[in-house]
Structure 1
Amino acid sequence: MCESKEKTFFKLIHGSGKEEASKEDKIRAKEKRNRLSLLVQKPEFHEETHSSRSGHLAKETRVSPEEAAKWGESFDKLLSHRDGLEAFTRFLKTEFSEENIEFWKACEDFKKSKEPQQIILKAKAIYEKFIQNDAPQEVNLDFHTKEIITKSITQPTLHSFDAAQSRVYQLMEQDSYTRFLKSDIYLDLIEGRPQRPTNLRRRSRSFTCNEFQDVKSDVAIWL
């Protein structure tokens, strides 16, 4: 009789252990699903966070329509205003030609250099990024201008990029600037409308998703 009770008790304990183990397995499985869900949603989360931050920044640095209207008076007035320069840079990114304004800004910074070593290092960096053949952000320059820069890059001066910067400035003024004045980015500013999302931002989100696909094999680290 006692032996029977012991067996019954053993079965109850054993069964309870299985039940506990089953609950633990379910909890682990749920945690795994939650972690995987977070991993999949991560790009979207970052985009929403970035978007909300961008919207907050746009609100803080909002330009008055009257101020934005002055940018239409001349290209120089546009570039001399910090927010005008930022708006024009955003526009060039939608056309995938931001290397022109990035080169112009790099030249402006370069001309402020004072130490000889700083001049050499910055000149080399600008040359490798914007001037040399197959540079990551190569600007459109004629052969003669590029040749002069190439020959002088070993002993650069503060005027080494003057001709190239002037050339790029003219290209932007005669081409990109006129389109900028007709763009939604500029028209929204002078009419006081909220800034609209651009195609470049959506493309960035797609790229983020592709990056996730490339690293999906690392999901094992979450398990």
Structure 2
Amino acid sequence: METTLVFFSQLSMCESKEKTFFKLVHGLGKEETSKEAKIRAKEKRNRLSLLLQRHEFHEGTHSSTSGDWAKHTRVSPEEAVKWGESFDKLLSHKDGLEAFTRFLKTEFSEENIEFWIACEEFKKSKEPQQITLKAKAIYEKFIQNDAPQEVNLDFHTKEITAKSITQPTLQSFDVAQSRVYQLMEQDSYTRFLKSDMYLDLTEGRPQRPTNLRRRSRSFTYNEFQDVKSDVAIWL
């Protein structure tokens, strides 16, 4: 009897220890899971906040700059009408270039005109060292993959330009500049001529703040969708 009692007592103790261990591990697992969930929720909140701040920053900046230009421009309707005759006439006029640049900013595609302007300035370089430094800077800013203001160029054009700047000349960006010029002329320029900004100028009407057409590239649909799907975690 004594032996039997001792045996059941040991079994009971082992069982109790196993249950205690299981509860301890299970409890830690729950706690760990809860901590991870809170961390993920915090990261998603911070991420959404950053995205919204970027979007609001771009919206506020572009709206205000468009409004400021509208208040101070003195372009005559006759001069503005000439911009509609050709893309060259628009770009050759100081106010026309400025108006078109501001229009592109509302579409978040100002890198195209900025690249074109950079190429025009590059062609004025005289010193060999200056040509080399400027060519590298333009390539890294506008053309190389993942450049901060990468323009939309096909692979062949990029390849030609990359080879050309190994020993840069004043013609190194001619092919790329021509390609971007064509894209602007066939796409953005036609929309500019139909925009309120341009029509107001040609008709002598007070300029109105230009509405944004697209979201900033930093605020992509996929990123927002990923955050939105877990909105219940924040509540």
Task: Name the TM-score, length of structure 2 as normaliser.
Answer: 0.61
**Residue 125 of structure 1 pairs with residue 137 of structure 2:** yes
Residue 163 (structure 1) aligns with? 175
2:194 aligns to what SS in structure 1?
Answer: coil
Tell which has more relative contact order, 1 or 2 (C-alpha 8 A, sep 6+).
2
- Equivalent pair of 2:196/2:210 in contact (CA under 8 Å): no
* Paired letter, 1:88: F
- Equivalent pair of 2:70/2:208 in contact (CA under 8 Å): no
* Paired letter, 1:147: E
- 1:207-222 superposed matches below 5 A: none
Q: Classify 1:51/1:141 alpha carbon distance in 2 versus 1 (closer, same or farther; 3 Å).
A: closer
Residue 97 (structure 1) aligns with? 109
Of the three residues 175, 192, 200, the one matched with 2:204 is: 192
Residue 73 (structure 1) aligns with? 85
* Paired letter, 2:102: R
Of the three residues 147, 162, 185, the one matched with 2:159 is: 147
Residue 84 (structure 1) aligns with? 96
Of the three residues 172, 177, 190, the one matched with 2:184 is: 172
- Aligned counterparts of 1:180 and 1:197: Cα–Cα separation in 2: 14
What's the C-alpha RMSD, in Å, of the aligned pairs? 2.6
Residue 26 (structure 2) aligns with? none
Residue 118 (structure 2) aligns with? 106
Q: 1:54-84 CA distances to partner (integer Å, 9 max, x unpaired)?
A: 64x6554410000000000000000000000
4+ residue runs of structure 1 moved beyond 4 angstroms? 57-60
Residue 211 (structure 1) aligns with? none
- Aligned counterparts of 2:182 and 2:83: Cα–Cα separation in 1: 17
- Shift, 1:199, TM fit: 3.5
- Aligned counterparts of 1:184 and 1:65: Cα–Cα separation in 2: 14
Percent identity among equivalent residues?
A: 88
List runs of 5+ in structure 1 lacking aligned partners: 1-46, 205-223
- Equivalent pair of 2:77/2:202 in contact (CA under 8 Å): yes
- Equivalent pair of 2:141/2:149 in contact (CA under 8 Å): yes
- Aligned counterparts of 1:84 and 1:163: Cα–Cα separation in 2: 24
* Paired letter, 2:151: V
- Aligned counterparts of 1:75 and 1:59: Cα–Cα separation in 2: 24
2:199 aligns to what SS in structure 1?
Answer: helix
- Aligned counterparts of 1:190 and 1:124: Cα–Cα separation in 2: 40
Q: Classify 1:182/1:104 alpha carbon distance in 2 versus 1 (closer, same or farther; 3 Å).
A: same
Residue 26 (structure 1) aligns with? none
